[in-house]
Structure 1
Amino acid sequence: MKPVHYFCPDCDHAHVGIPAIARIHPDIIAEKIHRALPWRLQVGDDVCRVLYPKPRRSFIRANLDIPVIGETEPLQYGLWVELSEQDFTRYQRYERQDIPLVLEGRLANEAPEFPGTFDIPVRLVTRPFPLRPLIHPVEDDNDLWRAYDDGLEDWEAQMRLELSVSVIGSTAA
């Protein structure tokens, strides 16, 4: 993939490189954040929770790496995964004890440029702090799983990158 000039919403500056395609919140949190009472939500950079109405819902931010054919670097997505309360408790315990885990969850974002991916089953594989867990789509009949399993052509990865971030322009490779 070719590096692009892009605008970073986190630091309000332009950069050159290959950014991750990220979502700031799970889709349900993004919908509720402006109309919910503050005590109903717990919103952070790596963990978000809906505390009320019951049952609680817990979300973990993680990375999804899509291989790019002929490239060493993958196309990276920063997405959210919803975990059961039991798995969320296990995840919190992992953070304190640095024990590797594989957790079952559901994708909490529609992956950009992959329609129909909201709520698909995924596995979340933890990594040592400060790395975010990795998302592994469970085999399914959708474009996201096929891209994860087969990889993307360079031109397709470039197109998805440029459609998904605030690109100012491409640079020469």
Structure 2
Amino acid sequence: MTGINYDCAHCGEHHDGTDGSVESPWPALGFRRPDPYLELDTHSRRFHALANNDLCLIDRARGADCFLRAILPIPITGEEATLEYGPWVQISRICYDDYVDHYDDPDHREDYAGQLATAIPGYSGTLSVPVQVCTRGSQRPLLVPDSTFGHQLVRDFYEGIARTEAELRIRSMLLPAADL
């Protein structure tokens, strides 16, 4: 396959022929909100949830569900390149409050237990995948799936995927989708 062309939502530029290298990175495959937020009706979103590009809280009768956006890199077999997903992860309220308290601290390093809160295309049952959430100062946290959890996403994280598979995934997510 040839390089991937895309319009970057982050910098606003058009990128031609990206190959996943440091000099010409692929786009991160991001998700606007966690799946539980997307499942809310309009009233619940308006009156019982708060969300921005990095954080999300949903008030429930039993307490708040807390989410943050992170990075999940999938290595490309035999290369330095990675396919980066930008999924949401659910963490405890205590961890969420700690993360928010240190949000602007460039030296903050902490690990939290979490669970994916985004259905990742091409994988079934990703909402059940346990992860370690590793904060990295001012960068989005890095996710590390539990190596003992039997799931294809976990295997791909530790073993990698082929370049052609990564490019197919990127191209499929870059296809225009109907606004609902």
Contact 1:41/1:52 (8 A) holds in 2: no
Shift in alpha-carbon separation, 1:54–1:9, aligned structure 2, 3 A: farther
Report how far residue 39 of structure 1 moved. Answer: 2.5
Task: Give 2:109's aligned residue.
Answer: 100
Report how far residue 7 of structure 1 moved. Answer: 4.9
Structure 1 spans left out of the alignment, 5+ residues: 168-173
Q: Which amino acid aligns with 1:160?
A: R
Task: Give 1:44's aligned residue.
Answer: 52
Q: Which amino acid aligns with 2:108?
A: I
Count of residue pairs the alignment pairs up? 166
Structure with the larger RCO, 1 or 2 (CA within 8 Å, 6+ apart): 1
1:84 is the counterpart of 2:95? no
Q: Give the TM-score of the pair, scaled to structure 2.
A: 0.82
Contact 2:126/2:153 (8 A) holds in 1: yes
Report how far residue 33 of structure 1 moved. Answer: 5.7
Task: Give 2:34's aligned residue.
Answer: 26
Task: Give 1:114's aligned residue.
Answer: 123
Task: Give 2:68's aligned residue.
Answer: 60
Task: Give 2:3's aligned residue.
Answer: 3
d(CA) in 1 for partners of 2:3 and 2:175? 13
d(CA) in 2 for partners of 1:164 and 1:146? 21
Report how far residue 11 of structure 1 moved. Answer: 8.0
Report SS of the residue matched to 2:140.
Answer: coil
Moved more, 47-56 or 89-98: 89-98
Task: Give 1:126's aligned residue.
Answer: 135
Contact 1:40/1:53 (8 A) holds in 2: no
d(CA) in 2 for partners of 1:150 and 1:2? 24
1:44-96: CA deviation from partner (whole Å, max 9, x where unpaired): 11001102433101100000000001322200000000011111122123325
d(CA) in 2 for partners of 1:12 and 1:99? 29
